[in-house]
């Protein structure tokens, strides 16, 4: 067998569908983790500089502690899906028809079906979890959209006394009054700053990344695993 025939045979053993799904999964998780982490850091800056929220000196579960917890969760998600993507690609290679022809039909068929069934079940569990992550990520997008819209329409809001109260979003307790009104100096500083615009768009990209991860796991990973195994 010549070099050209060997290259063609090697290219025929690549599970292209699983490869595309894995790349999409990596891209979605990377966008969510990277942009989500920076958006949380921007949120801390906005809360401290413009809403004058102070970190609690004692070990209590305040908004800053929750943000730190979310950051550590992002680190874990990034590491876990890096390993999961590698396992997914290995599973895709060992369930293609070309690998079966190379190593034997019966052994690969039995092992491949068991591994594919396990990965399909695991992928659907992850998909349901990422649906919840996507829904949760839409909440800060909605909150920042309201703030960003008010800032973009400051001329219209000049005659109205609109206030952004953190108690409405559950960020601070009912006893604390942390709000910024349209006529205050902090409101104009926040609207003119880069933190608000950057944080808002970072949350949008993080939401898009979470949605891309769901898309990768639903039609491009679970069903495509069956395609790689039964049709290739």
DSSP per-residue codes, 41-86: HHHHHHHHHTS-----SSS---HHHHHHHHHHHHHHHHHHHHHHHH
The answer to whether residue 111 scores a pLDDT higher than 70 is: no
Please give the pLDDT value at position 82.
87
**Residue from 142, 165, 162, 138 nearest 150 by CA:** 162
* Cα 128 to Cα 25: distance, rounded to the nearest angstrom: 14
Q: Where are the alpha helices (DSSP H) in 96-104?
A: 97-103
Q: How far is CA 108 from the centre of its chain?
A: 34
Question: Residue 163: enclosing H or E segment and its boundaries?
Answer: strand 163-165
Q: How many CB atoms lie within 10 A of CB 184?
A: 13
| pLDDT at residue 232 greater than cutoff 90 | no
> Quick one: tokens of 74?
């992002």
* 26-48 pLDDT per residue, tens: 999 999 999 999 999 999 999 88
Q: Which of 125 and 119 is assigned the larger pLDDT?
A: 125
Q: Report pTM.
A: 0.81
C-alpha span between 104 and 20 (Å, rounded) = 26
Q: Which of 6-10, 32-36, 210-214 has the highest mean pLDDT?
A: 32-36
| Cα torsion angle, 18, 19, 25, 28, sign | negative
């Amino acid at each position: 067998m010549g070099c050209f025939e060997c290259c063609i045979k090697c290219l025929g053993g690549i599970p292209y569908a699983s490869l595309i799904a894995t790349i999409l999964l990596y891209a979605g998780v990377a966008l969510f983790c990277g942009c989500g982490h920076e958006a949380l850091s921007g949120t801390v800056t906005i809360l401290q500089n413009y809403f004058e929220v102070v970190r609690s000196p004692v070990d209590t579960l305040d908004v800053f502690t929750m943000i730190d917890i979310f950051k550590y969760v992002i680190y874990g998600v990034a590491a876990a899906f890096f390993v999961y993507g590698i396992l997914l690609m290995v599973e895709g290679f060992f369930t293609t028809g070309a690998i079966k022809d190379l190593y034997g039909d019966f052994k690969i068929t039995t092992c491949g079906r068991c591994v594919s069934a396990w990965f399909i079940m695991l992928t659907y569990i992850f998909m349901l979890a990422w649906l919840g992550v996507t829904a949760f990520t839409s909440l800060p997008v909605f909150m920042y959209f309201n703030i960003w819209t008010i800032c973009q329409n400051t001329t219209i809001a000049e005659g109205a006394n609109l206030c952004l109260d953190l108690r409405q979003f559950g960020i601070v307790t009912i006893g604390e009054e942390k709000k910024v009104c349209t006529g205050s100096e902090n409101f104009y500083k926040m609207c003119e700053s880069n933190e608000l615009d950057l944080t808002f768009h970072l949350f949008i990209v993080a939401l898009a990344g979470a949605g891309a991860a769901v898309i990768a796991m639903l039609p491009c990973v679970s069903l495509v695993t069956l395609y790689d195994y039964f049709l290739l």
